[in-house]
Every structure is written in C-alpha cells, then in structure tokens.
Amino acid sequence: MQPQLQPSSSPAVNGADWRVWWQLTRPHTLTAAFAPVLLGTALAIEYSGGIHWGMFLAMLIASLLIQAATNMFNEYYDFKRGLDNENSVGIGGAIVRHGIKPKTVLNLAFSLYGISVLLGVYICMSTSWWVAAVGVVSLAAGYLYTGGPLPIAYTPFGELVAGFFMGVLIILISFYIQTGTVTSTSVLVSFPSFLLVGAILLANNIRDLDGDKEFGRKTLAILLGRKGAIRLLAGMFIVSYSWVIGLIIAGVVSPWLAIVALSIPKAVKATKGFIGKSNPLQMMPAMAATAKTNTIFGLLLSVGIFISLI
C-alpha cells in the first residue's frame, strides 16, 4: 500500500497567495455549472418572455458553489485514500503541494454547501419546497461522488451521475424556477448537456486510466479500455450535435440553434488529442478541449435561443 504523503509547508497556508485557494475550486470545471443555468434560463425566457433576475443569480451562484465544493471533496478524499501526490495531474494541489490542512479543505467544502443551502431556501420560498428535495439529492450526489464508502467516481456510473445532475437537472431546475413548470422541449434540449458533462468525466477517466486501474477503480474508461473509451467519447460528441439537428428538423427548436456547429472543431480536437497517447500530461489539452466543448456548446445553444427571440 502506498504511504500517505503529508502536506508540505507553504506560505500559501497563511493566505499569502489567493491563487492557491482559487485553484482549489478547479476553476476550469466551473463552466460546467454556468452553461446549464444559462441554457435553462434562456429556455425559460423563450417560454414565458421574462426573467426573475434574483432567481437566476441565486441558482447560478448555488450551482457554482456546489461544483466547487464537489471539487474540494474530491481533493480531500483522494488525498485521504492516498491517490493524490505532488506529481498528480489535474488536481487543485492545495493539500499535497501547498500544505493546506485536509480538514480545512473539507470544512471549506461544507461551508460552500451551507451557503448554497441558504440560496436554495430563497429559491424554495419563491417557488416550491419540492425544489428542496431535489436540492438535497443533488448535494448528496456531490458529496458521494468521491466521499462515502463506495465513491461514485470509482464506479462505471460517474459519467451517468455527473451528466444527469450537472447537465439535465440544472437546466430543468433553472427552467422551473422561472416558469413553474417543466416542458418536453426543456427536457429534450437538456439531453446534449447530459452527454457533454458526462464526456468531461469520461475524458478525465481516460487521462487517469492507468493510475485508476492501479488503485483498483472500476471506471467506465477502464471497463471499455482506452480505445473503446475514446470511441465512446467521439460518439457522445456526434450524438450531441445530431440531437440538435434532429430537434431542428422536427420543428422543436429554432434553426438558429444550429449555431452550435461552431463548437465542432473543439470536439474534434478533444477526440484527436487522446488518440495514441497514454501520458496524462500529453492528454491535458484534450481534456481541456472536452470541457470547452461543453461550455461553448451550451453557450451557443443559449445564443441561438436569444437570436430566435429577436
């Protein structure tokens, strides 16, 4: 069993460098929370013709905080299980590189959860308390993704769970708190986000495949093998774009949503960036391209909706 590293000392522990704390949130992942909120709100504006700015901001901030807290739980539990060290790729590194106490990271994550709960109370007071039940399940999923006795991230279901909660559910809640309902259109438009958020996790697991296998994880990438996982990633991109085209042909959404095609080069770059590579550092650009594909795709869908309203 690998010995657990102790956090090294660093001036950043005393707050000398705010960038350490910012990096702890893994800011490159936060767009995965922003884009679905914007898309759900854009769909709501198309449906009802208006927007409640207080609800939009509360939902946006709560989603960002939950995403950041989930990343911190990941940082804490991967360290406690001996998975992270100073050379690990794709981590915040606050514990193993900058000497921040693990308990501090955990407490900060729960604090962000606390603030998101307060925002959730505001949302529920203005809409329905059923939203609270959905919120509690979402918080539990964020914690159990890497916490608990059987972390979701260590199973083949990580992509499924992340795609549902950070893709579909955020869009539908953002839509519901503005309109008081959920429509078939909002559900159909949310499906590509389900795939693309899941693709971010799949890309992460492709990068970490060898290390995860060594530590006994059973991720989808491990079960499919590197080549199979890359094919699945490409398939998720293809289905996402094909889905939008299908909705346009069926008359469900405006032809303006075809603007998402502008993000195709990023999807191609993401897929090609994994082919023939096994070194995690070499795959970082492909991982970044996968995350950017999700963000740009969601933003362009929103832009298409806004243009169709003019």
Is the pLDDT reported for residue 28 higher than 90?
A: no
Residues 32-57 pLDDT 10s: 889 999 999 999 999 999 999 999 99
Amino acid at position 261, single letter: A
Report pLDDT for 17. 72
Report pLDDT for 87. 61
Is the pLDDT reported for residue 4 higher than 60?
A: no
Cα–Cα distance measured from residue 102 to residue 85, given in angstroms and rounded to the nearest whole number = 13
pLDDT-above-90 percentage for the chain: 72
Residues 189-232 pLDDT 10s: 999 999 999 999 999 999 999 988 988 889 999 999 999 999 99
Contact 235, 204 (CB under 8 A): no
The alpha helices in 184-254, defined as continuous H runs, are 184-207, 209-214, 220-249
- Poorest-pLDDT segment among 1-10, 107-116, 130-139, 265-274: 1-10
Is the pLDDT reported for residue 13 higher than 70?
A: no
Q: Which helix (H) or strand (E) holds 164?
A: none
Cα–Cα distance measured from residue 287 to residue 281, given in angstroms and rounded to the nearest whole number = 10
Report pLDDT for 27. 85
What pTM value is reported for the model? 0.89
Amino acid at position 165, single letter: F
Is the pLDDT reported for residue 98 higher than 70?
A: yes
Residues 123-157 pLDDT 10s: 999 999 999 999 999 999 999 998 888 899 989 99
Is the pLDDT reported for residue 82 higher than 80?
A: no
Report pLDDT for 86. 67
Report pLDDT for 16. 42
Mean pLDDT of the chain: 90
Contact 190, 171 (CB under 8 A): yes
